[in-house]
């Protein structure tokens, strides 16, 4: 399916609930990247409701989505999924208390032709999702590393875009 009009927006989408322990990891990464003031990158934080995530991805040329997951690996572990190439393994992202989780939202965007041509999910393994809890020490310790890796990828994607345009 042909993607809808793409306007070149580059977005970082931090997904999660700030009051549910490690679920907030994506939001904290987004906040650190906002402080870094990257050129031409829109930093968005969302709770995870599907239609809001779809709206955030609309007309973007590149999207970097950061979310917590629970797949049974060690807490704080970072995994990168190129979801423009293939679907996200949905079981690890089924923590949404709403109807559609992140994996389904990405598939909905793909079905509607709204998935950005570059779309990457950075998944941080969480261990505690308790109401009102802070980030667990292992996840808190992982945030800086995630920010650096993501920042490097954003810069690389931007350079590739510039080279294509030149």
**Candidates 34-42, 106-114, 143-151, 156-164; binding stretch for another protein (CB under 8 A):** 106-114
Does position 161 interact with another protein (CB under 8 A)? The reply is no
Does position 117 interact with another protein (CB under 8 A)? The reply is no
For the stretch 2-7, contacts whose Cβ atoms lie closer than 8 Å and that sit 24 or more positions apart, written own/partner, are 2/113, 3/113, 3/114, 3/115, 3/116, 3/117, 4/58, 4/59, 4/112, 4/113, 4/114, 5/59, 6/59, 6/60, 6/61, 6/116, 6/117, 7/59, 7/60, 7/61
- How far, in Å, CA of 82 to CA of 134, rounded? 29
Residue selected from 50, 115, 121, 135 as contacting another protein according to rule CB under 8 A: 50
Does position 113 interact with another protein (CB under 8 A)? The reply is yes
Does position 127 interact with another protein (CB under 8 A)? The reply is no
Considering the complex, state which of residue 36 and residue 111 has its C-beta at the smaller distance from another protein: 111
Does position 18 interact with another protein (CB under 8 A)? The reply is no
**Contact residues: another protein, CB under 8 A:** 1, 47, 49-52, 54-55, 97-100, 104, 107-108, 111-113
């Amino acid at each position: 399916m042909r993607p809808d009009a793409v306007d070149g927006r580059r977005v970082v989408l931090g997904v999660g609930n700030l009051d549910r322990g490690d679920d907030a990891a994506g939001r904290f990464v987004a906040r650190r990247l906002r402080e870094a003031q990257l050129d031409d990158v829109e930093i968005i934080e969302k709770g995870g409701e599907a239609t809001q995530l779809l709206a955030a991805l609309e007309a973007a040329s590149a999207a970097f989505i950061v979310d917590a997951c629970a797949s049974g690996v060690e807490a704080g572990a970072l995994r990168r999924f190129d979801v423009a190439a293939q679907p996200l393994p949905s079981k690890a992202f089924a923590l949404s208390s709403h109807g559609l989780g992140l994996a389904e939202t990405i598939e909905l965007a793909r079905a509607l032709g709204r998935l950005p041509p570059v779309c990457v999910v950075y998944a941080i393994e969480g261990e505690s999702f308790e109401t009102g809890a802070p980030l667990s020490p292992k996840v808190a310790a992982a945030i800086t590393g995630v920010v650096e890796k993501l920042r490097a990828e954003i810069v690389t994607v931007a350079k590739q875009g510039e080279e294509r345009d030149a």
